[in-house]
Amino acid sequence: RVYGPAESQSAVFGDVCPLLTSLLDGYNVCVMAYGQTGSGKSYTMLGRHSDDGPVLPLDPQSDLGIIPRVAEELFRLISENTSRSPKVEVFIVEVYNNDIFDLLAKDSIAAVSGVKREVMTAKDGWTEVALLASEAVGSASKRMELVHGGLQLRAKHPTLVHVDSSRSHLIITVTLTTASCSDSTTDQACSATLPREQTEAGRAGRSRRASQGALAPQLVPGNPAGHAEQVQARLQLVDLAGSECIGVSGVTGFALRETACINRSLAALADVLGALSEHRSHVPYRNSRLTHLLQDCLGGDAKLLVILCISPSQRHLAQTLQGLGFGIRARQVQRGPARKKPLSSQAEGKRRPD
């Protein structure tokens, strides 16, 4: 589907809503906005910039983006089934100059720029970020409070194209851990006794593609006497930094290095999608920390929605054509049937305590 400049934010969010139902059913979901700098990615994902953050509940006609709308709709759906309320945790990172920074870390010595982390591949094949901080949330407003705090730390720099240009890729991960019982008589008991599990993190015209072949719900055996299992699902909301033409953006000095890193990481993302669409035996996930971090959702373990943001200006024609080429690659990816993987076990020492 293609959205014109006059389309409302709520109309765009209409394509995201069905994915939230899948998330609550135990499937992993990823929503990603791609496009050139200044084309409306952050507007689509977050809404109009405000130092005060979003006000909840939302007015359906407001210009707030996908991320605050997801927060409100997710907790609305959860409230409709109080017998099995999941534990909700939030992780926020940025990929800046090909390094990963934890925007929820509370280390006082790095309160301004975030804390650098490393992405790794676990023995079972899942990607994770070591020592990543998380916060448990119980409401949409609490979740958006965390997002607003993380955005204050995100790297930004003015350019000739955008006065508030994002210089990093923002990835907000939400994990849901739910007790699933074998019969209705034990549903309430299971939700009441759900243990605090360690969860994982590593894990316009506009056009979009919803992928097929999503990972089946992840089941973790629980107490045999209670016939309980734990289902964990993960939602990743990705606001990519914009691709840039240096001659148009006018960046110099350190900002020039930022632009080079952004363009390289976006090229790596396009290469991964190209390898997947052509069914190559080797997919170059590790050519960039961005693609390594997103490997699970790109490689077939999630329902993936790509939103392509395009500038209508003739001045940006080259970047527009590049963006459309990215969209074509994304649409050509055909992923296989659903596969079930065991939940990655995480040792206590691998994760930073709340």
Going by the annotation, the residues of the binding site for ATP are 35-42
How far is 75 from 80, CA to CA, in rounded Å? Answer: 9
Residues 296-333, buried b or exposed e (16+ Cβ, 10 A)? Answer: bbbbbbbbbbbbbbbbeeeebeebbebbeebbebbbeb
Which pair of structure tokens corresponds to residue 94? 């940025």
Beta-bridge partner residues of 33: 239, 307
Asked whether the beta carbons of 27 and 217 are under 8 A apart, the reply is: yes
Q: Which of 251, 208, 255 is nearest to 30 (CA)?
A: 208
Which residue ranges make up the annotated binding site? 35-42
